[in-house]
A = this chain, B = another copy of it.
């Protein structure tokens, strides 16, 4: 038999209300003797409170949902880790949901999270989502979005990085180093993230007095395969380019592979800049110059923002735009 608060109460010779108060540290009005006796029985019996019962009455599960596209994508573990640490610090626990950028999966998870009555949802929306379904609009649980925008949904908070600026700085750096024929291998331009990075790419050219060429934009998705294939194609078609600004590090790493195979040197023949600064960027040779996103911090801040809101310390800043940072390594001159 599972030991409950009732058993503790009996053994300690007090009422269950008293036990409950002791457990929840609402014991200002309990004498030391009583409290110690209760505590002792709890310990002796190895009592573990049943949170589902308490959630039933408090309407709090001390659980957050984390919805991301895919934990297998190296950008997300850091972020997830940040969220988890932030949540854990406040005694919260995390339910992990991989949406695979699949709108249907996203909605079915959303429903599950509601059924399980999580106290909040940290959300990195599918890059495919352009419109809100009714499932979203009905949502009564607070949502904080991270990394990506979710238009049309009422949010409790929003955490992004300044993608335009990050891209701008990266491309400026390339231009300053004398690179002139920069191709941008981008992620899907449906998403605001990719659009902003492209905007930065354009602005850098303009500010440096160079005419950006539209053909230099190659739209794809955020995978190394895509980076590899497109770079290979550029080489084989003898396209005239001297550098690559990649939509993320995975794309850049794919480009590395293609260039290595063709014995093209980085950075002497071709310069490369990525985006994200995943852990591999440092390990690879030459080290990848990239725009670092503070992904751990993004996750951590998101959790923090969520918990602030839950605890109703309201008035806290609702939108954070974090700074990215250009990390210069060996893949650029």
Contact = CB atoms under 8 A, between A and B. Distances in A.
Interface string A36-63: 0000000000101111110110000101
A7 interface: no
A280 interface: yes
Given A84-B96, A94-B96, A115-B50, A260 B283 contact: no
Interface residues of A toward B: which range?
35 or more
A93 interface: yes
A224 interface: yes
Contact of A283 (B56, B93, B253): B253
Interface string A80-121: 110011000000011111100000000000011011110000
Interface stretch (A69-77, A204-212, A234-242): A69-77
A63 B116 contact: yes
Contacts of A222: none
Copies in the complex: 2
A66 B256 CA distance: 35
A104 to B, nearest CB: 13
A111 B85 CA distance: 17
B95 A94 contact: yes
Given A224-B283, A285-B257, A53 B51 contact: no
A215 interface: no
A100 to B, nearest CB: 10
Contacts of A84: 71, 96-98
Interface in A225-284: 228, 253-254, 256-257, 260-261, 279-280, 283-284
B71 A61 contact: no
Nearest to A113: B93
**Interface pairs A-B: 5 shortest CB-CB:** A260-B285, A51-B115, A96-B96, A71-B77, A72-B77
Given A56-B56, A72-B78, A84-B97, 4 more contacts: A48-B115, A71-B84, A74-B279, A96-B96
24 contacts: A49-B115, A50-B115, A51-B116, A52-B55, A52-B56, A52-B61, A52-B116, A71-B71, A71-B80, A71-B81, A72-B279, A81-B98, A84-B96, A84-B97, A84-B98, A93-B112, A94-B95, A95-B96, A228-B283, A253-B280, A256-B283, A257-B285, A261-B285, A280-B280
